């Protein structure tokens, strides 16, 4: 018994598939200039940290999170909120340094957390 698709390959459908394939190739061939990559990574890391900690109730604004990452002092900020952001950044950097793997070793991550300085 052979497979019978529920559609007919028409010239219009084939033209659309060819357009999609051409667009896919353009996207895959497109490159981000190397000098932009660190700035994009830093901005992404900052936004990720702000969003994720805000979900958990951290009161710091995006600008305050940027200031924490840059090491600037922020007046009238709870130490716990600042510590949460600092630790989140440390966790992201740890994961970024790890080589890509199929599985993640929890023990190694926990050992790293225990070595973080308390602030």
pTM over 0.85: no
pLDDT digits (tens, 9 = 90+) for 47-64: 999 999 999 999 999 999
Spatial CB neighbours of 15, under 8 Å, sequence gap ≥ 6: none
Give the number of C-alpha atoms closer than 13 A to the C-alpha of residue 110, restricted to the C-beta side: 3
Name the maximum alpha-carbon separation found in the chain. Answer: 74
Over residues 87-109, the pLDDT tens digits come to: 999 999 888 888 776 666 666 66
């Amino acid at each position: 018994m052979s497979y019978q698709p529920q559609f007919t390959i028409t010239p219009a459908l084939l033209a659309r598939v060819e357009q999609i394939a051409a667009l896919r190739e353009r996207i895959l061939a497109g490159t981000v200039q190397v000098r932009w990559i660190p700035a994009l990574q830093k901005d992404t890391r900052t936004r990720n940290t702000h969003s994720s900690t805000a979900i958990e109730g951290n009161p710091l604004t995006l600008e305050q999170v940027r200031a924490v990452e840059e090491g600037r002092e922020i007046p009238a900020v709870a130490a716990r909120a600042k510590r949460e952001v600092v630790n989140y950044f440390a966790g992201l950097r740890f994961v970024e340094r790890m080589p890509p793997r199929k599985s993640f070793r929890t023990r190694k991550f926990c050992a790293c957390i225990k070595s973080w300085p308390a602030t």
